């Protein structure tokens, strides 16, 4: 059932290259909580080949992650596009002649997911409400005395 993740190493022994082009359900990531979720299909494409005594996998990965907006906390979808990834596995670690990409994909996608995102393409409507609490870069003492509320200025 998980053939989309398998690379048959024995087919690559004579200089052959295996083309990879798959789109899979994100369920295999087992990552679906309030802080980070993946609901969009995961596409990965590239190639696998042998170089000396190593399996080399070269991939591009695309999907979308859902996480809370850094400003308003509403769930926001952010694209996750990873280009030019290389994964090298020594042949002595592949005991069965078949390498399964699933763990590499899971680890890479979860680790490379964005940590912060802002809804509306970086223009969260709630930002205006928070502006008075944020000091603008390069503000002067006069600007600070103009009546802008600074809740931590007395600390």
pLDDT at site 1? 47
The CA-atom distances, in angstroms, between 113 and each of 10, 29, 64 are 33, 12, 9
pLDDT at 22 over 60: yes
pLDDT at site 127? 82
Domain ranges of the chain: 3-128
Neighbours of 39 (CB within 10 A): 13
Per DSSP, what are the bridge partners of residue 59? Answer: 46, 85
pLDDT at site 122? 85
pLDDT band at 59 (very low <50, low <70, confident <90, very high): very high
pTM: 0.77
Q: Which of 82, 83, 88 has the alpha carbon at shortest distance from 101?
A: 88
pLDDT band at 32 (very low <50, low <70, confident <90, very high): confident
pLDDT at 19 over 70: yes
Measured at the alpha carbon of residue 48, what is the angle toward residues 21 and 88, in degrees to the nearest 5?
Answer: 125
pLDDT at site 67? 93
pLDDT band at 61 (very low <50, low <70, confident <90, very high): very high
pLDDT tens, residue by residue, 74-94 = 999 999 999 999 999 999 999
Measured at the alpha carbon of residue 138, what is the angle toward residues 133 and 139, in degrees to the nearest 5?
Answer: 50
Q: How many Å is the Cα radius of gyration of the chain?
A: 23
Sign of CA dihedral 118, 119, 124, 127: negative
- 6-10, 25-29, 149-153: segment of lowest average pLDDT: 149-153
pLDDT at site 49? 96
């Amino acid at each position: 059932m998980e053939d989309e993740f398998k690379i048959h190493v024995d087919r690559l022994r004579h200089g052959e290259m295996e083309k990879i082009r798959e789109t899979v359900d994100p369920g295999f990531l087992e990552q679906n909580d309030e802080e980070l979720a993946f609901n969009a299909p995961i596409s990965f494409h590239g190639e696998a080949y042998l170089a000396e005594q190593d399996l080399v996998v070269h991939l591009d990965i695309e999907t979308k992650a859902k996480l809370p907006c850094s400003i308003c906390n509403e769930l926001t979808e952010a694209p996750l596009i990873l280009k030019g990834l290389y994964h090298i596995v020594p042949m002595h670690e592949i005991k069965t002649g078949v390498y399964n990409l699933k763990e590499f994909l899971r680890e890479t996608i979860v680790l490379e997911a964005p940590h912060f995102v802002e809804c509306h393409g970086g223009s969260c409507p709630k930002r205006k409400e928070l502006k008075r609490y944020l000091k603008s870069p390069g503000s002067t003492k006069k600007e600070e005395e103009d009546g802008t509320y600074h809740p931590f200025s007395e600390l």
